[in-house]
Amino acid sequence: MQGFGNRGWLAGVTLVSVLALAACTAPPRVPAPVEDRASTTMTPSAAAVPPITTDASGKPLPGIENYGKPGYYAVRPGDTLRRIGAETGQSWQNIVRWNNLENPDRIEVGQVLRVIPPSATADPSGAVTRPVLPPAVVLPGGNGSTASAPVPSAPAKAPVATGGDEDVGWIWPASGSLIAGFDEAKNKGLDIGGKAGDAVLAAADGRVVYAGAGLRGYGNLIILKHNNTYLTAYAHNQALLVKEDQSVQRGQKIAEMGNSDADRVKLHFEIRRQGKPVDPSRYLPTR
């Protein structure tokens, strides 16, 4: 399994945008999934042609004029606002506001949504980045199996912090032994062993942008956004102790280790820098 659970992490999970607006005061609702099939990842090409431009009645899909533009996301089959928020590092409540959605339970395949704050500037590379869900996860037939990855014998040290987003102050998210190391092709993070119920800690100060079990292959998953550059993910927990939009402190217990959607008790931990998976061993302190 790559990515969270060792299946390629969201090619999806890139651009990490500012959570500029406060969360809605209304209790969270889990929007209903869409059912039809349309586009996948957005591309920056101005010549990109969406596979679907109108709904069943022939009306243009909402936001279709923004298809292919940086900072926008085309709704895919099975998407919900909660899942899109997790994939783009935003709260789904903010996405509702930025797109003036009257009913967050109704989104259409092919509909194009703004997924960065109106005041933010998208990455000039253009691709709407995806912090969590790799294409492999949404394809049918995934069995959640885990492929071991080699443990690096002498991992390179983290780059010297230069302040700002780089000055995160990482700690290890669990105290167990390393059972699988980072491998760009096979394992997008680290697998840390332990026993059921062991503490899973926030690796740095941040805000919860996803907490749930809706992303197949990850089990009970938490995603933290630390700043505009870094996200972390904590997969296969047996219990989640934090909620979406909650602020957490470095070292705070956010979950209990488990084996949800995994073949053994472990924590699968990833660090994403500007959406790209990086070797956590380069950032975490020596132990």
Provide the CATH number for the domain around residue 248: 2.70.70.10
CATH number of domain containing 120: 3.10.350.10
Q: Determine the average pLDDT of the residues in 174-197.
A: 92
Domain edge (last residue) among 105, 128, 151: 128
Residue 126 pLDDT class (50, 70, 90 cuts): very low
Residues 173 and 66 in one domain: no
Residues 86 and 173 in one domain: no
What pLDDT is recorded for position 50? 63
Q: Which residue has the tokens 């550059």?
A: 229
What pLDDT is recorded for position 191? 95
Residues 75 and 182 in one domain: no
Q: Per-residue pLDDT for 249 more than 90?
A: yes
Whether 243 maps to a domain, the answer reads yes
Q: Per-residue pLDDT for 175 more than 80?
A: yes
Q: Per-residue pLDDT for 40 more than 60?
A: no
Whether 89 maps to a domain, the answer reads yes
Domain edge (last residue) among 128, 151, 185: 128
Please list, in sequence order, all residues whose beta carbon lies within 8 angstroms of the beta carbon of residue 153, skipping any fewer than 6 positions away.
none
Q: What distance lies between CA 11 and its chain's CA centroid?
A: 10
What pLDDT is recorded for position 20? 31
Residue 182 pLDDT class (50, 70, 90 cuts): very high
Residues 179 and 242 in one domain: yes
Share of the chain above pLDDT 90, in %: 36
Quote the number of domains for the chain. Answer: 2
What pLDDT is recorded for position 109? 87
96: left (phi over 0), alpha (psi -120 to 50) or beta: alpha
What pLDDT is recorded for position 275? 80
Whether 5 maps to a domain, the answer reads no
Residue 199 pLDDT class (50, 70, 90 cuts): very high
What pLDDT is recorded for position 122? 53
Residue 14 pLDDT class (50, 70, 90 cuts): very low
Whether 159 maps to a domain, the answer reads no
Backbone CA torsion sign across 206, 212, 126, 278: positive
Whether 145 maps to a domain, the answer reads no
What pLDDT is recorded for position 121? 54
Residues 117 and 21 in one domain: yes
Whether 104 maps to a domain, the answer reads yes
Residues 122 and 169 in one domain: no
Residues 119 and 172 in one domain: no
**Helix, strand, coil % over all residues of the chain, rounded to 5:** 10, 25, 70
Residues 182 and 275 in one domain: yes
Residues 182 and 116 in one domain: no
What pLDDT is recorded for position 58? 76
Q: Which of 61-75, 89-103, 117-131 has the lowest mean pLDDT?
A: 117-131
Residues 189 and 266 in one domain: yes
Whether 263 maps to a domain, the answer reads yes
Average pLDDT value for the chain: 73
Q: Per-residue pLDDT for 31 more than 50?
A: no
Domain edge (last residue) among 108, 128, 148: 128
Residues 21 and 101 in one domain: yes
Residues 172 and 227 in one domain: yes
3-state secondary structure of 239: strand
Residue 49 pLDDT class (50, 70, 90 cuts): low
Residue 43 pLDDT class (50, 70, 90 cuts): very low
Q: Per-residue pLDDT for 120 more than 80?
A: no
Compute the distance between CA of residue 86 and CA of residue 80 in angstroms, rounded to an integer. 10
Domain residues for 240? 164-282
Whether 30 maps to a domain, the answer reads yes
